Amino acid sequence: MKKVPYILLAIFAIGIGLYPIIYFILDGKFGLLNSKPEELLTDLLWNASFYTHITLGGLALLVGWVQFNKKIQRTKIQLHRNIGKIYMISVLLSGISGLYIGYHATGGWIPKVGFISLAVTWLYTTLKGYTSIRKKDILTHQKMMIYSYAACFAAVTLRIWLPLLTMALDGFLPAYRIVAWLCWVPNILVAYYLIKNKYQTVT
């Protein structure tokens, strides 16, 4: 990656990766919790899923960007592997819990399908990246992990798009229905573009 985009990636990843801490500090409803009905907020399974999702999703976001550092990839292989294990376990637990809370997304079937599709994409690309490196298929591993982190980065793009669209559309629900897809589909398209340009000479 070029230096400036990489620095911006790190800043956003760290900032939003630490964002879930606010949910543990503030009492009562905060952020997206304001859109949830009281019966859901008192549901034990939903709460366990929600806090697992945001905590480990934040951790995945925090450590994932480091994995694209070429120096670490080439000279600190064990560190790269250890961070990769943390990222993979975080994605596995956050992604599975994301499937459950996605099913309970506010606003009907459009955001439900959007967030469930995001969770499936995140889980699939991460597991594919893991199985590829186990088979010594480095090229596929690198490609899949770019896609995986693009899906992970939806946590950042959601928090950029949601307030902007809420103001533009004068309402949370219409914005949320769009953001359920806008937060991750363009990320995957950007990842595809980066992969195509990075590996176009590789056969």
The string of pLDDT tens digits covering residues 62-98 is 999 999 888 888 889 899 999 999 999 999 999 999 9
Q: How many Cα atoms are found within 13 Å in the side-chain-facing hemisphere of 180?
A: 24
Specify the pTM. 0.91
Confidence of residue 26 (pLDDT cuts 50, 70, 90): confident
Dihedral sign of CA atoms 145, 147, 152, 157 in order:
positive
The DSSP call for residue 1 is -
